[in-house]
Amino acid sequence: MSNPIKTAIVGFGSVAEKMHAPLIDVCPDLDLVASVERRTNRCEELYEGVTTYRSLEELLAADAADLIIITTPNEFHFPMAKQCLNSGKHVVVDKPVTIFSHEAEELHKLAEKKGLICSVFHNRRYDGDFMTLQKLVREGDLGDLVYLESHFDRFRPDITENWREKEVPGNGITFDLGSHLIDQVVLLFGLPNWVQADIRMQRTGAVADDYFDIILDYGSLKARVTAGALVNVPTPKFLLLGKNGSYQKFGLDVQEAAFKAGEKPEGPTLGVETEEKWGKIFLSEETKAYETIPGNYRILYQNVADAISKGTTLFITIPQTISVLKIIEASFESAKSGNRISKEDGGW
């Protein structure tokens, strides 16, 4: 039995505290030993055996960890991940990995050259509703599919002090939530033929995009991903239409709310939805509830640990996220020009 992989978190904000650290803590093959925090010692207050460093340079000089998790604002992802890889460290970067696809390509080449794992925290792959959607697509219960609609709507009319809503590189809802929704569609159906996007700032005083509506074309199937900050009405999380029937699902995966409530990600109820929250299948002869597969964000870090220590296949790879970034880049180009951007022009 090998020793757990010494792991450090760079940037111990709310997402790191509420989600990354608990997931690392319950992974038997990872050992949370360090945190980079500029002003606080929050991680070591919460977890025994953690040492706080004031900079990434200080952490790397101490050679305290072999796996480094980067949860800083998007503009710092590329230089920090590059620095870690050059220091011989495995890396997990919060989505969308980098701001520009060419930066992600450079990280991929560097990781391959160094023989290191470089992955991305696309936790929404392990949402229960998305895993259920994957099952429906795989098993073909709805027949030939013609349309997928994917929402991540919220009502947040006031601008906050969060860096994502400030005038900084990599800000806005498209990089934040769009990267998840596009990643899910590409996992389901592959790379689209073309994309067309509408990206806006809808709230008063907004300096970062807070709304997007992106169409991804697959010939006989159309996918639409959308999110907004001024949606004060229930919209379906997923709507999937096929020639034999439809699937509709409301409500977000239950794991995020559990993390925010301080629940530890373990035990038999992890990611389990109550029956009243299940989606429904609408067939010609009947309408029935369709059980949601329990979500499980633990899969992500366990897979990273296995890839490092056992050579297991990595589930979330940089090339996958490069394609997502190129689609995001094409979406901003489309929103600006009003034109469709084809696969050939977008280079994904």
pLDDT band at 163 (very low <50, low <70, confident <90, very high): very high
Residue 15 main-chain phi, psi, to 5 deg: -65, -40
Distance CA 118, CA 90 (A): 6
Selection from 9, 11, 24, 5 nearest residue 259 by Cα: 24
* CB contact set of 8 (below 8 Å; sequence gap of 6+): 32, 33, 34, 35, 36, 53, 59, 64, 65, 67, 68, 69
Provide the 8-state DSSP code for 299.
H
* CB contact set of 301 (below 8 Å; sequence gap of 6+): 23, 24, 27, 30, 92
pLDDT digits 0-9 by tens, 61-79:
999 999 999 999 999 999 9
pLDDT digits 0-9 by tens, 218-269:
999 999 999 999 999 999 999 999 999 999 999 999 999 999 999 999 999 9
pTM: 0.96
Distance CA 135, CA 122 (A): 19
Residue listed under structure tokens 């970034």? 325
**CB 32, CB 9: distance < 8 Å:** yes
- β-pairing, 245-249 vs 279-283, is antiparallel
pLDDT band at 2 (very low <50, low <70, confident <90, very high): confident
Distance CA 132, CA 266 (A): 20
Distance CA 331, CA 155 (A): 23
Query: Which residues sit opposite 228 in a β-bridge?
Result: 211
Query: Which residues sit opposite 200 in a β-bridge?
Result: 211
pLDDT digits 0-9 by tens, 295-331:
999 999 999 999 999 999 999 999 999 999 999 999 9
Distance CA 235, CA 85 (A): 42
Query: How is residue 102 written in tokens?
Result: 């060419």
pLDDT band at 109 (very low <50, low <70, confident <90, very high): very high
